[in-house]
Amino acid sequence: MTTMIQTTNLTKRYGELVALNNLNLAIEQGDCFGFIGPNGAGKTTTIKILATLLKPTSGQAQIDGLTIGYQNRKIRPLIGYVPDFMGAYEDMVVTEYLEFFAATYGIHGSARRKVVGDVLELTDLGYKATAEVNSLSRGMQQRLSIARVLLHDPKVLLMDEPASGLDPRARIEIRELLKELKRMGKTILISSHILPELAEICNVVGIIERGQLLFSGSVAQALRKARVGHTLHVAVEARSADAAALLQKVPGVVKLQLVEETTIAGLGRPTMHITYEDAPGRSHADLPSVLINNGFRVLKFDEEPVNLETAFMRLTKGLVQ
């Protein structure tokens, strides 16, 4: 498999501030890589270096085997960079805007008209072809920004918070567009703070904090690494306090809290929130049997899933530059 994006000990300093500290990434062809980190973690710095807009202080970055800083002219036709906010040229209508950028890529005549029509269809902006750019909603402007970088059919898309500031409908539309681009075989690096959407789109994620990469791998690997025991929600039909006292003595139960929860019918029901750690010879799956064998009727036994937000919170320390 071809490695499309690779960084080796990539470092960027601004005086005493270290924005990137020996970053090592490897993103394969066709990957959708979710870049996760708090504000100031180094995500935008990384993307701008990969987009040939910033020079690294040390280390190396490559796109499709070409080295940034030495082969930029060859790299730029291979990449499409989508910043978090759209640029200028807002006095143009949508087709003029796209035709202008197509011309900068050397696309002319009927070929230009065709490619502009194609990207408008792909981004579902055909009905806005004659609208002024500055009349578009934030979500439509983001789709137009993506349409712009697709004109020259790049292999690699670098997207810096493309869903930032969008309403729920616009985020869904951007998400579906990204899924289509992934199906087309594009290699995508996308930074975002909307973690559930990254989990749905991306097959690989990287977690960065204070310029250092804390984790890089599949979403499933991130979830496994972040899992610390099992968080269980358990309810019994009656005598909840007795059930809680029983389970607190069971090996593996690290923490137990009895919480009054409201059911759909509006009734209160005590629920045990349990932290359990498996070990050889015992499992959290044994708890219902313990309750039943002691005369309790189990109404609820749910395990709280570990999602990408949980993984992010457990793998980072909340530090910023």
CATH code reported for the domain at 228-305:
3.30.70.60
- With 70 as the cut, is the pLDDT of residue 72 above it? yes
- With 80 as the cut, is the pLDDT of residue 298 above it? yes
Residues 6+ apart with CB under 8 A from 279: 251, 252
Going from the C-alpha of 5 to that of each of 12, 30, 75, 141, 255, the distances in angstroms are 17, 11, 11, 27, 44
Nearest to 179 by CA among 144, 146, 149, 223: 146
pLDDT greater at residue 166 or residue 9: 9
At 139-148, the pLDDT tens digits run 898 899 999 9
What is the DSSP secondary structure assignment for residue 147, as one 8-state letter? H
Q: What is the percent of the chain where pLDDT is above 70?
A: 89
Least confident of 110-114, 150-154, 206-210: 206-210
Residue 256: band (very low, low, confident or very high) from pLDDT cuts 50, 70, 90 = very high
CA distance 281 to 267: 38
Domain 3-218, classified CATH 3.40.50.300, yes or no? yes
Residue 157: band (very low, low, confident or very high) from pLDDT cuts 50, 70, 90 = very high
Whose tokens are 């599949």? That residue is 218
Highest mean pLDDT range out of 88-97, 149-158, 165-174, 305-314? 149-158
pLDDT given for residue 217 in this prediction: 84
- With 60 as the cut, is the pLDDT of residue 265 above it? no
Nearest to 49 by CA among 16, 93, 86, 14: 14
Q: Average pLDDT for residues 213-239, to the nearest whole number?
A: 80
Nearest to 48 by CA among 56, 58, 39: 56
At 55-65, the pLDDT tens digits run 999 999 999 99
pTM of the shown model: 0.77
- With 70 as the cut, is the pLDDT of residue 187 above it? yes
Residue 51: band (very low, low, confident or very high) from pLDDT cuts 50, 70, 90 = very high
Per-domain residue ranges of the chain = 3-218, 228-305
Question: Residues 77, 152: contact at Cβ < 8 Å?
Answer: yes
